[in-house]
Structure 1
């Protein structure tokens, strides 16, 4: 039977539709009422609100994403910035059509696919709860003063860091120990940035806190230090050797042989400062250790290259002095180290165990806030993340039982690592020490070694070629020059052509 009394929302009907419906009812027509024409959603008026510059501190599980940085082209996995920006746009905190450039987006440190972060920071302009028509004359004067100060700044530049860059920071808790700096409270109730974003984001990305910042603040250039952690099990490794090698990293060194060269960046100097490098057991995780590496800035894949060397040292395949040799890129009178001006071929460590633990800023630059009032749930975020950790522990327990089931039928492999000091012999070619692995007597008795690469991955090898005896890559100057004359030249031509077209228009 036809429904003669459909439930309709007459409030949304136009005058003409209502008249047509009344006419149908008066004539006794059984014709179903026409659906009201769809109305275009009302465009949000960003111009009606004030904007303010803030910093967001957030964490994410890197294995779920195709890296941090937003990509214009489609990617197999979403990027962290892409998901975070979509949440900001959905909440009308930024104008989605204007893109990252439209809100002045800056990140502290880029992480690649598979790499996680517990304290990543971005700075950007977002919508404030203040409406422009409600702004007082005093607030307008303050905004004008801030704009004037921002306009007088020529642009972001690298922050000069003194030798005591870690003063005032607790690297374990990641909180400033001197919290007496700027605590200016707002005269109005601000939007609940933390709660709003976490309500829209997936559990693999969590916003931890936000801070009001100055107009000339840069998440990248105001950062005093970056703190990375790399987790690894100690099985088959000599921790004292790794600790000895890690200590050699501290100070300012040339790390061209401990990074991946990107000629598109045209880097001329590879000197970076390492403030601390320590290896210690992870509390509450039996047999798990962590490399804590703190520096003012890092090169592309620098941490993973460093960790690859430490794993080779811990395995006994390389001496701790290989770290110093790789940083000795030119003749230094008074040292017996070989000159290694070109990078030897080797594989960097896996990205899964790597985490950007924290980005450190001066107390006067940030004032982190996590309490958004009653909407924040007062501890809900902590409960949620604890639940995620519990599920991870269940997965670990299941994997342990899978291993136990396999051991009923497959005996564990006899590990040859770490090699003891007695395995070091002299190479007849150079006289430098390197480990001599026992060679197989026949194909049936072939001996394979599992060279660790981090994250539970390894490379099988019957023989090991010492790092300093391996083939060297091209010099960085040669690689940079070739890129300038090929891809760089084509890119410059395209840019010049686009500028010419723009000028004609």
Structure 2
């Protein structure tokens, strides 16, 4: 039979013809090959985490905060992934933790939480992971230890991100003699899984694990931390660095920081005293200095060249919510000349029963500021958690899975120990090099635009805060808030910091929360417990 001339058919006729052909096609056209069917129906191999040896370790890593929705796990869906969620997914893919048990099942703890956009070069988490060490293996499961070594294949599914809360330690019973705490140094020469290289193979390049440490079962990355070191990077455009250093110096020691943080009533904080060990500002280079290079000399000029990069180093035993960013906001106001350095002393002078004296001879007695004035905190992009410090007897960082003495070193051992370190170094160096190229390209864009456009008038740094009213009513003040961002004010509408509207006292805010959200939370908890008892 000759084929119909479909060229003359209408659209409706063609559709009807196709439907007729589909109905008459033999079912064998959609038949699945027996081997393909077998592959589809094959059940996934189960992995019994309960039978595997485990140990508690600490991981040290860096991450680019602008790629993530903060560090901590989030209960609700977020626009960007969280750092902890991404790291837990990698740990699950390497079968180092049980994804079904979630972060609580491995005793997950973080050292210091960072917000969305904030980076870290030395974050630390502690958790229980699969291990090659038999001393953490239940006696009945010891023959399975060797099998656990070789299976590092990714798994297909992971759990949802866990609720954002402080996670409990892994449960240990008094009868578990095999889990007796031991000093960290005891494990230095034992053959172990290469945690650093395993995780970096599956993690995105914006998160890099660069060290791990064996720790005791009772170790807490949060509570064992001696101090935390933050860095805030900024350019010196329109800023008086000497005045900023003056203001930063006033932070040293133990002070009340209720006016230099975000008040979160849900935390019910009543004591805002924190101890600052270091607070200074110094020039910084965007080029990496190798260990064998001599340190560059810092400038002695009070007024740096335009565009020079500086870093604010802040080390403390503990920090409040957004404390570093609010401190940096005041430093920007001081550096631009809108506020005197003594404004920092006034903000720290929050206890009328124990007022602070003038910080320097010749200054006026600082005003008592019991309630925080309204002001905008600094941008989060230039902020990073630089380091978390621990006692050497608690944490001994290492990079490989095993430690080999010089006498025992072979060509194979040397390759296995150093290849991962070299690859990691090259990876991070490549990222740094690309960033420098991006900076050079942006500099050329800026140069091209500046050829045809003149810069706006910038009155900063002002000689004194009293000069603000003398600038004229129509002058727009671009007050820096960090990260290349500015807050726009006019010289007519700018209100000095200590004359601004004050927030409510902390006690009032905490009590209102307890009587509203806090009370509802307690009621929900009580109802849930009653239902569980029934």
Question: Is the shorter-chain TM-score for this pair beyond 0.5, marking a shared fold?
Answer: yes
Partner of 2:103: 100
- Mapped pair 1:70 → 2:67: no
Q: Is contact 1:350–1:457 with CA below 8 Å preserved after alignment? A: yes
Which piece of structure 1 moves more, 282-291 or 470-479? 282-291
Q: Is contact 1:245–1:321 with CA below 8 Å preserved after alignment? A: yes
State the distance in 2 between where 1:337 and 1:452 align. 25
- Which of 115, 120, 130 matches 2:123? 120
- Which of 503, 508, 517 matches 1:487? 517
Alignment: residue pair count: 424
Deviations 1:55-98 (A, max 9, x none): 00000000000000011211000000000000001110000011
Partner of 1:303: 324
State the distance in 1 between where 2:312 and 2:480 align. 15
- Which of 56, 59, 62 matches 1:59? 62
Distance 1:78 1:32, change over 3 A: closer
Measured after TM superposition, the shift of residue 402 of structure 1 is 1.3
Measured after TM superposition, the shift of residue 46 of structure 1 is 1.1
Deviations 1:110-162 (A, max 9, x none): 000000000000000000024644489xxxxx994474669xxxxxxxxxxxx
- Mapped pair 1:398 → 2:432: no
State the distance in 2 between where 1:378 and 1:340 align. 51
Secondary structure, in 3 states, of the residue corresponding to 1:258? Answer: coil
Q: Is contact 1:146–1:215 with CA below 8 Å preserved after alignment? A: no
Secondary structure, in 3 states, of the residue corresponding to 1:207? Answer: strand
State the distance in 2 between where 1:451 and 1:258 align. 18
* Structure 1 residues without counterparts, runs of 5 or longer: 1-30, 137-141, 151-180, 426-434, 441-445
Secondary structure, in 3 states, of the residue corresponding to 1:318? Answer: coil
* Structure 2 residues without counterparts, runs of 5 or longer: 1-30, 145-173, 288-306, 358-364, 402-412
State the distance in 2 between where 1:211 and 1:437 align. 59
The equivalences for 1:73-88 within 5 A come to: 73-88=76-91
Q: Is contact 1:57–1:209 with CA below 8 Å preserved after alignment? A: yes
Distance 1:276 1:143, change over 3 A: farther
Partner of 2:466: 424
Which piece of structure 1 moves more, 107-116 or 367-376? 367-376
Deviations 1:446-494 (A, max 9, x none): 2111101001000111122100000001111111000000011111111
Distance 1:224 1:334, change over 3 A: closer
Partner of 2:221: 219
State the distance in 2 between where 1:260 and 1:64 align. 24
Partner of 2:450: 407
Measured after TM superposition, the shift of residue 378 of structure 1 is 3.7
The equivalences for 1:69-468 within 5 A come to: 69-130=72-133, 132=137, 133-134=141-142, 144-145=176-177, 147=179, 183-185=185-187, 188-283=190-285, 287-331=308-352, 332=354, 335=357, 336-372=365-401, 374=416, 376-421=419-464, 424=466, 435-440=468-473, 446-463=474-491, 464-468=494-498
Distance 1:405 1:217, change over 3 A: same
Measured after TM superposition, the shift of residue 203 of structure 1 is 0.2
- Mapped pair 1:499 → 2:529: yes
State the distance in 2 between where 1:386 and 1:90 align. 26
State the distance in 1 between where 2:133 and 2:275 align. 43
Q: Is contact 2:195–2:400 with CA below 8 Å preserved after alignment? A: no
Q: Is contact 1:49–1:130 with CA below 8 Å preserved after alignment? A: no
Distance 1:252 1:338, change over 3 A: same
State the distance in 1 between where 2:191 and 2:356 align. 64
Secondary structure, in 3 states, of the residue corresponding to 1:229? Answer: strand
State the distance in 1 between where 2:184 and 2:51 align. 29
